Structure formats: structure tokens, C-alpha cells
């Protein structure tokens, strides 16, 4: 029997935790800009929990005088409060850290939109190294359901999809099929009726199931319970397998490579659990559903993983074998459930040439061709093309940073698509490639600085050494220059206790005084008077080996006090996004939006230079200074003693 | 009264750790409180009736689940997976050791009897019946909540 004193102490425990949660949420919300909408909204909901908790504790204690019953009610309320606190820690505490690309969150929003679930707010953060964690549904209902007294009003429902992803596989293009194909499908699999469409009941033999002890029903439980629990496991496996098939549906062969590699790395191939089928079964079903891949190069994406999976999956546990046999026999009905999700199928067989080209380009340090003009129409590269291309480049041993180049290709695709959606024009002539190298070079005879015609010809020239790669290319050159746009990535100085930064001191890391930030294309970046930041061009450039040039500030921005301060020289053969050292020399803050044409590229003929060891290789954003690695740094350190 | 429980947090719990079980624990505790107040001569408030209605619905779902699986799928429909953890915990709560191995019909009937009694709360009660029932739901609340907690800190030697 609980005493009145115990009940009183537990009510104080609840009030104390309400105060703490209030403070935690306040501290998390404070630094967030208004543009971090989904995270802001989730924290706003969490911020209302303490008030609701205080109210419910007060009301429940007023209704019940028996301390025993008071304790009985207070304990689950305290447990719920812990869950809310835990949820805030796990999913909502990453604040303004921008380690995961905002473009990735946009991709997830795009996939949710394809699943007709655009109403879900997306929150993305890093989680454990060996697993994805996806939670979705009405966050308001989950926070306030237990706190609302029956009959009282709760806040309106708000759907969220929150993803905690491993640092590597969550951010990498190679594993997009896991995140965008499988995990995002979880949000839709039940609510869109895909799991119900499988009609597990008609395929599941309850008599057999009743005789199969399983992880949810150990030996000794009644047959009824044993059957019920195995049915629950079968439901969970159905959902997982549908989500796997959706990954294959959306990404083709890359899905098999991504899922198998991931399963093998986290140890999920052989284990049958109450929530997940073993990887062996999952991949076997995907391979069977995909069938033979006709294209030799594409087949190489799948081959290393197909080698790992036997034609017939044999599992040690009888219950798991029963389920494996059930799903193997019903693969076609399982695949047919995807019609309920209603997402377009990726037709890899008809995309082979684009996949090959993209793989070849990123292997050479170029971006995939984001836009291709066919006659007067514009075709945008598909995201799944890039996912397959990056696996192809990987399996063929590409020496370049393929994942970074694939990431930038996806961002370029995304920007172009948004640009077109917003009514932005794209000159078709920019995207009609030509292979006439000698013709283009002959037309430049006697030219020193390239003018608009020469620049356009170079942009159209499909040649790794002589072509001028610009992605995204949204406008034609004018005069003797090509305008360049502001990207989404910045390195900014922070206030620190560092007395001075010594470029020659091996112990002085620029990260001690600078921090990397990324904004989405919908956000703004405010540059304050006298502030210097490192930005980068939105465009990924590949400069021909016979041209060099400079980047200068556009005069329209220079007149506002915005200058691109230093490091304006561009060497022949440079590939990457150009770093812009931006400084605001005016007396008022300047608001900058990604995509603004802030700079101008001027190119001139130069002698062809041989390849040199580059300090900055294929950057897709500003990079921290590597002045400490200058070849003569050791000499200078020795000189000064 | 003891309970055997084997439910685990489902994949779809928004919180990790079985928040559906916390919901069930709270519902059972509130049910116990309502029954105790009623047994003590208190009035039934509108929100009390909503508590009893929610518990009644859950017990009925559990009874239907047992009927379905007990009849090898001949009777009724498979239960929705959405509330699986709650329904399974309710079944476990009724499935005490005296019913091992359980007769599905008896189990389903017991769940239905409990649901019916809550629905007919204004019908006459035998001596001590409401108190016994309140104790049952208090026990259910404790049992379910115990599955959501932790035993203490995590320690490990490297």
C-alpha cells in the first residue's frame, strides 16, 4: 500500500521533470532559425508537454484520494514523461548542426510526396552507426494522448516522419535505396494499405503456426497465443519485405547492392528476428524479383552480392523457415502490393546509357549530366540513375571521390527541377552537346579572352579535357563572362578564446576558429558588415586544360559592398565548386540567397598544364584552409626555429 | 494475481520502449480508480464513462483476437496490427497461470465478461465485486508498466 507521502513525492517528481523538460526545449528552440520549420514545430509540441503534464497531475490527484491509486496513475505519467524526454534527446536535439545535407531532407520530402504523404514534416538526424531508425505518425497524439484526460481537447494532430540515420550510410548516395526506397516506404506501407493488400490471413496457416514456438511465444505458451504471436511476426516481415521491394521498384539494381552491403556490414544476413527477416531471405527475394540484368556493366553491380545468397534459403529455426517458405511462395502477390503505394517504377533497362554515362563522368571527376536537351525539350537525369551510376563506378574501381560527385549531381538535379518548377527558364542550346573539338578550337583562333560565343561552345563541348563543364547551367554567358551563383555551403568564423591563429603551427587547426554550415535553397544567409565568410559557387565547374581564369564579384553586388576578396585565380584543369571568400564592406548586413548570381567567371587561353598534386580536389563546397600542408611549411618552421 | 507477459515494443512505436504499454498501464490505472470510486458510492463522471468505454473496447478487441486465432481463422478477422502491443498485453493479463494451457474459448469468454461488466457498470454489483475488479486492473497497470522500465544503469568492462 502506498502512503500519502509517497504519492506527494511522486507528484513532485512529475512537476520537477516538467520544469526540466521545459528548460531543455527552450534551450533547443532558441538558436534555431525560423527556417528550420519541422524541427521547430516538433520542439514547439514538446514545449507544450510540461504544461499538459502539470494539468493532468493536478486533475488526477484531485479526483482520487486513495494514495495507492494516485501512485498507480502517477507512475505511467512519469514513464511517459521520460519517453518524451528521451524522444527529444534522440530526435530533436541536433539543433543547428548541419552535418546532413539539407538537400537530403529535400530528397526525402520528394519521396514522401511521391507516396502522397507530403503532409509529413521531415526531421533528419544522425543515429547509431549500425542502424536506421524511422518513426512516423501523429506526434501530437503520441505526446499528448496519455496526458489528455478523457474527453478533453488535445492539440491538433501533426504528422511527422523522423529519420535517424548512420553517419556513413545515411549521407551517402550509394545507400539512397536504403533510406529513400526502404525507410521512407515504411511511412506509407501500412497507411496506404500495402500490407493489407497482401492478405496475409489467406496465406498463413494458423494450425501450423500454433505448433511453432517463436521469439514472441516461447515453448509452453498456449497454441492460440503461439499462433497469434507468429502472425504478428509475419505481419512485421510482410512490411519489411514490401519496403525492400519498394527500394528495388524505385532504384533497380542499386537497391540490391545497397541493401546487401549494408546487411553484411551490420550483421543482418543470418539473423531472423521478430521484426525483421534475415538478410539472406530478403536479398534472395529481391534477386528473384529483379531477374537477370541484361546489361553486362549493370549486372556487375549485383554480382558480388548475388554470390552471397544461396538459391534456397535454409534457416535453423522452424518458425523462421515456415515464414521464409511462405514469402518465397508468395513473392508475386507480395510484389503486387506495391501498386497500393503508387510510386513510379524505375526502368533501369531503359536507363542503361544514362547510367553508364553518369558512372563514366563521375569516375573522371565530373558531375553527371544533370540536363539533356532533346529537340526543344529538357530531360533531367533521374535520381535513381545516379544511385546506380555510383555503384557502377564503385564496382569498376573509380579513383575519384564518387560519392561526393554523385551527391553534387543529385543536388544539381534537384536545383534544376526546383528552378523549372518556379518558372525559371533553361536555355536549350546550353544542353545540346557537340563533340566537334577541332571546330570549337578553330573558332577560337586568335582569341585571348573567351567571349560569350566561345564560352557557349566550350560549355556545349562534350570533351573531358577541352569542354567547360558547368552544373547546373541555367543561363548563357554574356559579354566575356559567365555569371556564377551562390551555393548552399559556407564556412564562417566563430568567436573563440584562441589568442591567435598561426598558419605554420601544426597544432593550429582552422576548425578551431571556423565552422561549416549549410543552408537549404529556401533559406537565407546574412553577411554582417566587415564579416568574412567562405562560400562556394553553386556550379560545379570543370575547367578545360587550356584555359585559366579569374572569378570576380558581379558589379551589381560590388556596388552593395559585397566583394569576393581573394584567391581569384583558377588553374587549367580545375574541377569543383569554386570557393568564394566573401566580405561585406558596407555598413549594413546583406542578405544572400542560394542561387543568386553574385560572381562572374572570366576565362582566357593558356598553355596546357600538366597535372599537379592538388590540395583541393573536387570540392563541392568551401574547404577549410590546408595552409599547414604547404610543401614549404616545414622549411619555414625550421627557419624560424 | 500474477501476469505473464511477452509483448515487446513494436516497430511502429513513436517512442522507443513501448509507449503503447504506458498508454495501457495508464488506462488500466484510470479504470481501477473509476471502479474504486464507484464502489465507494461516488458518481460516474462523463470522463469516467469514456475511460470505461476505452477499456471495454480494448478487451473486446482482445476477445476477438483470441476467437480468431483459437478457431484457426474460421471465426472473425485477424486483429489490427496497429494496437498489437496493447491487445497482446490485455490477453496476457487475463492469461494468468491458472489458465495454462489456455482454452481459447474460456480465454475469450473471460475477456468478454470483463468487457461486458465495464459496459454494464450501472447494473447491480455483488459484494466486493467492484473492488476485486479494481484490484485486477490495478494489477494489470503494474504488470504492463513493469515491461517498459529499466532495471538500472548500464555498466560494462572493456
And the C-alpha cell for A387? 544511385
Is B158 within the bounds of a domain?
A: no
Of all residues in chain A, what percent carry a pLDDT higher than 70?
96
**pLDDT category, A265, cuts 50, 70, 90?**
very high
Q: Quick check: B46 pLDDT over 70?
A: yes
Contact A218 B73 (CB under 8 A): no
Of A135-149, A237-251, A343-357, the range with the lowest mean pLDDT is A135-149
**pLDDT category, A641, cuts 50, 70, 90?**
confident
Whole-Å CA distances, A618 to A334, A359, A407: 43, 16, 12
* Residues in CB range of A216: below 8 A, 6 or more apart: A229, A230, A232, A233, A274, B6, B7, B8
Q: What average pLDDT does range A35-50 have in this prediction?
A: 88
Contact A72 B84 (CB under 8 A): no
Residue A46's φ and ψ, nearest 5 degrees, are -60, -35
Higher pLDDT, A385 or B14: A385
Q: Quick check: A393 pLDDT over 70?
A: yes
Could you say which of B70, B104, B145 has the minimum Cβ distance to residue A75?
B145
List chain B residues with CB under 8 Å of A145: 23
Q: Quick check: A278 pLDDT over 50?
A: yes
Q: Chain A: nearest CA to B111, how far in angstroms?
A: 14
CA B9 from chain centre, in angstroms, equals 16
Burial label for A154, CB within 10 Å (0-12, 13-18, 19+), is middle
List chain B residues with CB under 8 Å of A239: 11
List chain B residues with CB under 8 Å of A64: 33, 36-37
Q: Which of A458, A626, A619 is nearest to A537 (CA)?
A: A619
Higher pLDDT, B41 or A474: A474
Higher pLDDT, A221 or B6: A221
**pLDDT category, A210, cuts 50, 70, 90?**
very high
Q: Chain B: nearest CA to A230, how far in angstroms?
A: 11
Q: Quick check: A230 pLDDT over 50?
A: yes
List chain A residues with CB under 8 Å of B7: 216
**CA dihedral of A232, A234, A235, A239, whole degrees rounded to 10:** 140
Could you say which of B15, B50, B91 has the minimum Cβ distance to residue A87?
B15
* Integer Cα distance of A509 and A492 in angstroms: 14
CATH code for the domain in which residue A538 is found: 2.70.40.10
- pLDDT in the model for residue B2: 33
Q: Which residue of B has its CA nearest to A275?
A: B11
**pLDDT category, A35, cuts 50, 70, 90?**
low
- Host domain of residue A95: 1-126+132-165
Grid cell 564496382 — which residue? A395
B69 touches chain A (CB under 8 A): yes
Is A108 within the bounds of a domain?
A: yes
Look at the pTM and tell me if it is higher than 0.95.
no
Contact A231 B12 (CB under 8 A): no
Is B114 within the bounds of a domain?
A: yes
Of A211-215, A519-523, B109-113, the range with the lowest mean pLDDT is A519-523
**Interior CA angle at A500 toward A496 and A501, to 5°?**
95
CB pairs under 8 A between A and B: 145
ipTM of the complex: 0.85
- pLDDT in the model for residue B17: 45
3 state SS of A615: coil
Q: Quick check: A513 pLDDT over 60?
A: yes
Beta bridge partners of A214: A217
Of A22-26, A106-110, B101-105, the range with the lowest mean pLDDT is B101-105
* Integer Cα distance of A486 and A538 in angstroms: 5
Could you say which of B10, B15, B47 has the minimum Cβ distance to residue A83?
B15
A472 preceded by cis ω (within 30°)? yes
Question: Rg of chain A's alpha carbons, rounded to an integer?
Answer: 29
- pLDDT in the model for residue A566: 63
Q: Quick check: B11 pLDDT over 50?
A: no
Q: Quick check: A52 pLDDT over 80?
A: yes
Burial label for A504, CB within 10 Å (0-12, 13-18, 19+), is middle
Is B85 within the bounds of a domain?
A: yes
* Integer Cα distance of A359 and A188 in angstroms: 31
Could you say which of B19, B33, B72 has the minimum Cβ distance to residue A64?
B33
Q: What average pLDDT does range A362-382 have in this prediction?
A: 92
- pLDDT in the model for residue A190: 84
Higher pLDDT, A185 or A506: A185
DSSP state of A566: S
Of A92-101, A218-227, A562-571, the range with the lowest mean pLDDT is A92-101
Higher pLDDT, A615 or A547: A547
* Integer Cα distance of A638 and A25 in angstroms: 52
**CA dihedral of A145, A150, A156, A159, whole degrees rounded to 10:** 30
Higher pLDDT, A409 or B45: A409
**pLDDT category, B12, cuts 50, 70, 90?**
very low
- pLDDT in the model for residue A281: 98
The b-or-e profile of A395-425 (16+ CB within 10 A means b, else e) is beebebbbbbbbbbbbbbbbbbbebeeeeee
- Host domain of residue B49: 19-145
Of all residues in chain A, what percent carry a pLDDT higher than 90?
71
Largest CA distance in chain B: 64
**pLDDT category, B97, cuts 50, 70, 90?**
very low
Is A280 within the bounds of a domain?
A: no
Could you say which of A76, A206, A222 has the minimum Cβ distance to residue B29?
A76
Contact A83 B17 (CB under 8 A): yes
Q: Quick check: A242 pLDDT over 50?
A: yes
Q: Which of B38, B78, B86, B140 to mutate to test the interface with A (most CBs of A within 10 A)?
A: B78
- pLDDT in the model for residue B102: 66
List chain A residues with CB under 8 Å of B78: 200-201, 231
Q: Quick check: A98 pLDDT over 70?
A: no
- pLDDT in the model for residue B91: 79
Is B36 within the bounds of a domain?
A: yes
Q: Return the top range by mean pLDDT from A3-12, A384-393, B97-106.
A: A384-393
Q: Quick check: A616 pLDDT over 70?
A: no
> Could you tell me how many helices (H) and strands (E) chain B has, helices first?
5, 0
Q: Quick check: A140 pLDDT over 50?
A: yes
- pLDDT in the model for residue A613: 44
B107 touches chain A (CB under 8 A): yes
Catalytic residues of A: 581
- pLDDT in the model for residue A612: 53
What are the pLDDT digits (tens) for A419-471? 999 999 999 999 999 999 999 999 999 889 999 999 999 999 999 899 999 99
Helix H segments across A64-166? 67-91, 102-114, 139-144
Asked if A485 and A539 touch (Cβ cutoff 8 Å), the reply is yes
Is B154 within the bounds of a domain?
A: no
Contact A64 B37 (CB under 8 A): yes
Q: Say if strands A469-471 and A579-584 run parallel, antiparallel, or are unpaired.
A: unpaired
Is B87 within the bounds of a domain?
A: yes
Q: What average pLDDT does range A476-492 have in this prediction?
A: 94
**pLDDT category, B8, cuts 50, 70, 90?**
very low
Residue A353's φ and ψ, nearest 5 degrees, are -65, -40
Asked if A538 and A489 touch (Cβ cutoff 8 Å), the reply is no
Contact B26 A231 (CB under 8 A): no
And the C-alpha cell for A461? 563541348
- pLDDT in the model for residue B1: 34
List chain A residues with CB under 8 Å of B32: 69, 72
Residue A315's φ and ψ, nearest 5 degrees, are -115, 145
Higher pLDDT, A215 or A630: A215
Count of domains forming chain A: 2
Q: Quick check: A122 pLDDT over 90?
A: yes
Contact A222 B101 (CB under 8 A): yes
Q: Which residue of B has its CA nearest to A72?
A: B29
The b-or-e profile of A110-148 (16+ CB within 10 A means b, else e) is bbbebbebeebbbbbbbbeeeebbbbbbbbbbbbbbbbb
And the C-alpha cell for B113? 465478461
Count of domains forming chain B: 1
What are the pLDDT digits (tens) for A287-304? 999 999 999 999 999 999
**pLDDT category, B21, cuts 50, 70, 90?**
confident
- Looking at every residue in chain A, the average pLDDT score rounds to 91
Could you say which of A73, A86, A87 has the minimum Cβ distance to residue B30?
A73
Is A540 within the bounds of a domain?
A: yes
Within 10 angstroms of residue A101's Cβ, the number of other Cβ atoms is 21
- pLDDT in the model for residue B127: 79
- pLDDT in the model for residue A34: 63
Amino acid at each position: 500500500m502506498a502512503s500519502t507521502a509517497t504519492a506527494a513525492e511522486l507528484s513532485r517528481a512529475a512537476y520537477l521533470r516538467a520544469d526540466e523538460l521545459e528548460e531543455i526545449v527552450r534551450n533547443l528552440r532558441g538558436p534555431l532559425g525560423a527556417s528550420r520549420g519541422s524541427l521547430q514545430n516538433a520542439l514547439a509540441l514538446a514545449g507544450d508537454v510540461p504544461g499538459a503534464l502539470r494539468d493532468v497531475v493536478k486533475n488526477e490527484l484531485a479526483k482520487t484520494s486513495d494514495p495507492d491509486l494516485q501512485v498507480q496513475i502517477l507512475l505511467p505519467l512519469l514513464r511517459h514523461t521520460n519517453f518524451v524526454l528521451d524522444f527529444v534527446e534522440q530526435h530533436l536535439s541536433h539543433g543547428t548542426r548541419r552535418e546532413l545535407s539539407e538537400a537530403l531532407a529535400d530528397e526525402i520530402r520528394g519521396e514522401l510526396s511521391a507516396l502522397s504523404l507530403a503532409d509529413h514534416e521531415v526531421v533528419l538526424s544522425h543515429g547509431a552507426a549500425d542502424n536506421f531508425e524511422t518513426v512516423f505518425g501523429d506526434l501530437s497524439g503520441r505526446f499528448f494522448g496519455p496526458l489528455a484526460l478523457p474527453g478533453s481537447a488535445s492539440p491538433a494532430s501533426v504528422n511527422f516522419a523522423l529519420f535517424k540515420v548512420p553517419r556513413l550510410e545515411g549521407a551517402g548516395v550509394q545507400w539512397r535505396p536504403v533510406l529513400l526506397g526502404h525507410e521512407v516506404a515504411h511511412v506509407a506501407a501500412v497507411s496506404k494499405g500495402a500490407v493489407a493488400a497482401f492478405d496475409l490471413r489467406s496465406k498463413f496457416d494458423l494450425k501450423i503456426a500454433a505448433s511453432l514456438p517463436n521469439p514472441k511465444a516461447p515453448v509452453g505458451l498456449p497454441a492460440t497465443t503461439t499462433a497469434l504471436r507468429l502472425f504478428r511476426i509475419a505481419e512485421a516481415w510482410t512490411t519489411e519485405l514490401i519496403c525492400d521491394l519498394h527500394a528495388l521498384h524505385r532504384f533497380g539494381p542499386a537497391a540490391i547492392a545497397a541493401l546487401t552491403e549494408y546487411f553484411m556490414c551490420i550483421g543482418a544476413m543470418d539473423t531472423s528476428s521478430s521484426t525483421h527477416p534475415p538478410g539472406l531471405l530478403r536479398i534472395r527475394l529481391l534477386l528473384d524479383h529483379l531477374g537477370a540484368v541484361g546489361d553486362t556493366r549493370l549486372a556487375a553491380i549485383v554480382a558480388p552480392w548475388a554470390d552471397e545468397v544461396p538459391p534456397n534459403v535454409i534457416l535453423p529455426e522452424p518458425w523462421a523457415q515456415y515464414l521464409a517458405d511462405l514469402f518465397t511462395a508468395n513473392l508475386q502477390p507480395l510484389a503486387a502490393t506495391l501498386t497500393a503505394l503508387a510510386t513510379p517504377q524505375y526502368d533501369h533497362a531503359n536507363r542503361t546509357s544514362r547510367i553508364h554515362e553518369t558512372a563514366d563522368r563521375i569516375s573522371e571527376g565530373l558531375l553527371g549530366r544533370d540536363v539533356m536537351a532533346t529537340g526543344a525539350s529538357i530531360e533531367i537525369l533521374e535520381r535513381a540513375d545516379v544511385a546506380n551510376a555510383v555503384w557502377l563506378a564503385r564496382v569498376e574501381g573509380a579513383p575519384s571521390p564518387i560519392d561526393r560527385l554523385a551527391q553534387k549531381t543529385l543536388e544539381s538535379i534537384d536545383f534544376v527541377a526546383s528552378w523549372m518548377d518556379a518558372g525559371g527558364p533553361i536555355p536549350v542550346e546550353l544542353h545540346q552537346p557537340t563533340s566537334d573539338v577541332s571546330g570549337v578550337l578553330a573558332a577560337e583562333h586568335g582569341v585571348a579572352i573567351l567571349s560569350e560565343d566561345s564560352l557557349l561552345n566550350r560549355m556545349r563541348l562534350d570533351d573531358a579535357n577541352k569542354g567547360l563543364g558547368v552544373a547546373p547551367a541555367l543561363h548563357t554567358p554574356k559579354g566575356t563572362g559567365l555569371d556564377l551563383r551562390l551555393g548552399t555551403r559556407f564556412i564562417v568564423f566563430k568567436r573563440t578564446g584562441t589568442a591567435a591563429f598561426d598558419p605554420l603551427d601544426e597544432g593550429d587547426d582552422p576548425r578551431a576558429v571556423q565552422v561549416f554550415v549549410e543552408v537549404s535553397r529556401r533559406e537565407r544567409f546574412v553577411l554582417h558588415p566587415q564579416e568574412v565568410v567562405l562560400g562556394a559557387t553553386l556550379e560545379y565547374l570543370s575547367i578545360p586544360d587550356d584555359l585559366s581564369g579569374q572569378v570576380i564579384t558581379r558589379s551589381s553586388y560590388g556596388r552593395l559592398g559585397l566583394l569576393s576578396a581573394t584567391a581569384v585565380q583558377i588553374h587549367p584543369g580545375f574541377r569543383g565548386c569554386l570557393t568564394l571568400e566573401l566580405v561585406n564592406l558596407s555598413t549594413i548586413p546583406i542578405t544572400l540567397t542560394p542561387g543568386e548570381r553574385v560572381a562572374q567567371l572570366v576565362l582566357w587561353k593558356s598553355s596546357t598544364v600538366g597535372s599537379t598534386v592538388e590540395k583541393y580536389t573536387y570540392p563541392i563546397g568551401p574547404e577549410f584552409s590546408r595552409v599547414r600542408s604547404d610543401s614549404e611549411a616545414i622549411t619555414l618552421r625550421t627557419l624560424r626555429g | 494475481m500474477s501476469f505473464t507477459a511477452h509483448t515487446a515494443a513494436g516497430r511502429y512505436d513513436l517512442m522507443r520502449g513501448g509507449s503503447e504499454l504506458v498508454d495501457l498501464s495508464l488506462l488500466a490505472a484510470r479504470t481501477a480508480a473509476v471502479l474504486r470510486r464507484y464502489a465507494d458510492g461516488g458518481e460516474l463522471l462523463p470522463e469516467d464513462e469514456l475511460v470505461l468505454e476505452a477499456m471495454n473496447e480494448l478487451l473486446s478487441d482482445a476477445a476477438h483476437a483470441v476467437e480468431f486465432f483459437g478457431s484457426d481463422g474460421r471465426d472473425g478477422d485477424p486483429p489490427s496490427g496497429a494496437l498489437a502491443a496493447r491487445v497482446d498485453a490485455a490477453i496476457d493479463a487475463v492469461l494468468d497461470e491458472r489458465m495454462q494451457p489456455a482454452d481459447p474459448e474460456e480465454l475469450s469468454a473471460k475477456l468478454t465478461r470483463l468487457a461486458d461488466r465495464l459496459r454494464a457498470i450501472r447494473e447491480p454489483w455483488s459484494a466486493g465485486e467492484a473492488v476485486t475488479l479494481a484490484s485486477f486492473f490495478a494489477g494489470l497497470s503494474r504488470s504492463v508498466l513493469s515491461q517498459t522500465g529499466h532495471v538500472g544503469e548500464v555498466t560494462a568492462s572493456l
